[in-house]
Amino acid sequence: MGLRHIISYSIVLACITLCTSCMSAQKTEQDQHVEVVLRKIGHEILLNANDSTSRILPIEKDNDRYKIRFDSNFGFIPDSLVQTVNAIMDDTELSESYIIELVECDSNLVVYSFERGIKKNIDVGTCMMRSLPTDCYAMFVTLVDVNDPFKAKQKVHLSNSIISGLLLLLAGLFIVVWSSTRKTVIDPHIIRLGSYKFDKRNMHLVHKNERTELTNKETDLLNLLYGSANATVERDIILQRVWGDEGDYIGRTLDVFISKLRKKLDGDDKIKIVNIRGVGYKLVVN
């Protein structure tokens, strides 16, 4: 994976993580607020039943439906229960539209229910004055329309996250564009020969991270053959260019150097130094 891809993926991931963390934190804060209000409702219901000591068990949630469980049995008058719930909802401004259901624990049957504000802001309830006996009840609260007191703060956090994300993206784009437009420095002394790198200045070959040293004559010979790759270089020209006037044994020496170069290039079968009988040598690069 290239540098540009790593930078791009990292920035996108940072933005997603930042925004998700902010939104998740606000969601948790709102859930805590809802639980506090619902526990207050449960507490007031028990007080109306002359119970000031029993506990409100942990609130359970299923999407927008909450379950209030009580530690003890109680009885209630629907009219009083409705007034209690509505008063707390109004005071806390938690929701203007909701459904309340009282369910008997053993039978799991709804023994009383009412709704508020769902159809043209009308409260719908029945049997308001009929007292229900002491029993084990659970209250289910479905919030149809939730007023979020943290919405303004959430917008501020979300705006800051978006701004931070955009700044990160702009920074990342700048780095990507800069790295893509930056010219790659090409060393003129390094030549590609198939899978080899021929460094004629430092006189060595590199193949699969292994370096093979070359002598001065091997370097000059290979450089000359490369300059006429896939074309025959006459023997006399090779001798003149590489050895000049260095004695009577040059002819035999050339063959020895060609043999050495072949061995040093045998890691790539697409590179061959071919003997053109009676003429000279040719470097073949496929």
Distances (CA, A) of 219 to 54, 121, 226, 264: 95, 94, 10, 12
Asked whether the whole model's pTM tops 0.85, one would answer: no
For the segment 171-218, what is each residue's pLDDT rounded down to a tens digit? 767 776 666 665 556 778 899 999 999 999 999 999 999 999 999 999
Last residue of a domain, one of 131, 151, 171: 151
Looking at the structure, do residues 213 and 146 belong to the same domain, yes or no?
Answer: no
Ranges of H-type helices in 95-215: 151-181
**Does the residue 201 lie in any domain?**
yes
pLDDT for res 89 = 92
Across the chain, mean pLDDT equals 82
Q: What's the mean pLDDT in 134-151?
A: 82
The answer to whether 67 and 57 are in contact (CB under 8 A) is no
Note the Cα 135 to chain centre separation in Å.
52
Residue whose token pair is 């209690």? 84
For the segment 55-69, what is each residue's pLDDT rounded down to a tens digit? 999 999 987 799 999
For the segment 59-100, what is each residue's pLDDT rounded down to a tens digit? 999 877 999 999 999 999 999 999 999 999 999 988 889 999
Terminal Cα-to-Cα distance of the chain (whole angstroms): 29
Looking at the structure, do residues 113 and 235 belong to the same domain, yes or no?
Answer: no
Q: What is the CATH number of the domain that holds 202?
A: 1.10.10.10
21-25, 159-163, 211-215, range with the lowest pLDDT: 21-25
Looking at the structure, do residues 107 and 207 belong to the same domain, yes or no?
Answer: no
**Does the residue 168 lie in any domain?**
no
Looking at the structure, do residues 137 and 30 belong to the same domain, yes or no?
Answer: yes
156/137: higher pLDDT = 137
Q: Is residue 125 scored above 60 in pLDDT?
A: no
Looking at the structure, do residues 118 and 246 belong to the same domain, yes or no?
Answer: no
221/4: higher pLDDT = 221
User: Would you place residue 25 in the very low, low, confident or very high pLDDT band (cuts 50, 70, 90)?
Assistant: very low
pLDDT for res 52 = 92
**Does the residue 158 lie in any domain?**
no
Domain residue limits at 197: 190-285
